[in-house]
């Protein structure tokens, strides 16, 4: 590989942790830029939610329904679960950097199972909500934000599943693993945008 001709510079530990010591491939650069655009997308949605919340008399669902509160067990449990899947995902990346494809596959399987469970729980949150999407700003932002986040989780899961299948077929090694690194970065993004922004806003903003 051409990049190996370039002598390794000292890499920052955070960079080393996230994407390894190898020179970053174009694919990784691409996914990082793409994640920035995703951050701006969610920033737009969240700014909309905050603006609506700050200046409306009709926040509560207008059909008399009840906002979904996050202070009971299930939402918190699944938030913790989703964010903690960043750990097996990162472990999968560590594993493949060392060329350990089997450990990678096991860790990715954990991510897939827990991620799917999160989506199923989100489905039941929607089922249990006693308001529709047209019942005022809160209701509309609730479905929009959780819906778009859910779609991103599903997208991430599909991508990880595809890479998992490729791993089964013997793809990836210590050098050629951009897709795994990209999936890891994306998965961190999906988890943290939930933990830091959507979960506290949707479930605790009164």
Could you tell me how far CA 85 lies from the centroid of its own chain?
A: 9
Closest CA to 178 of 158, 163, 198, 162: 163
Our CB check for other proteins shows the closer of 94 and 148 to be: 148
Helices in the chain by DSSP H: which ranges? 13-19, 26-54, 73-84, 86-97, 101-128, 136-168, 178-193, 199-204
- Determine which residue in the list 11, 18, 62, 116 makes contact with other proteins, applying CB under 8 A: 62
**Contact window for other proteins (CB under 8 A) among 102-110, 120-128, 140-148, 187-195:** 140-148
- Smallest distance from the beta carbon of 76 to other proteins, in angstroms? 27
- Determine which residue in the list 7, 12, 14, 40 makes contact with other proteins, applying CB under 8 A: 40
Our CB check for other proteins shows the closer of 131 and 203 to be: 131
> CB count, 10 Å around CB of 148?
14
Largest pairwise CA distance in the chain: 67
- Which positions touch other proteins (CB under 8 A)? 1-3, 6, 25-27, 29-30, 33-34, 36-45, 47-48, 51-52, 55-59, 62, 133-137, 139-141, 144, 148, 176, 178-179
């Amino acid at each position: 590989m051409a990049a190996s001709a370039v002598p390794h510079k000292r890499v920052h530990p955070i960079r080393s942790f996230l994407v390894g010591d190898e020179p970053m491939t174009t694919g990784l650069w691409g996914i990082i830029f793409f994640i920035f655009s995703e951050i701006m997308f969610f920033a737009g949605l969240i700014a909309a939610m905050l603006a609506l919340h700050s200046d409306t008399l009709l926040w509560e669902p207008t059909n008399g329904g009840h906002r979904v509160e996050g202070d009971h067990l299930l939402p918190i449990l699944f938030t913790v679960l989703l964010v903690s899947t960043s750990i097996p995902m990162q472990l999968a990346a560590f594993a493949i950097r060392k060329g350990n494809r089997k450990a990678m596959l096991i860790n990715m399987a954990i991510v897939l199972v827990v991620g799917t469970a999160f989506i199923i729980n989100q489905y039941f949150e929607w089922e249990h909500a006693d308001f529709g999407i047209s019942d005022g700003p809160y209701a509309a932002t609730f479905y929009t934000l959780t819906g778009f986040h859910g779609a991103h989780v599903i997208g991430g899961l599909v991508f990880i599943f595809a890479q998992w299948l490729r791993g089964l077929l013997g793809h990836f090694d210590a050098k050629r693993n951009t897709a795994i690194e990209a999936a890891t970065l994306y998965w961190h993004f999906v988890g943290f945008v939930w933990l830091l922004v959507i979960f506290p806003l949707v479930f605790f903003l009164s």
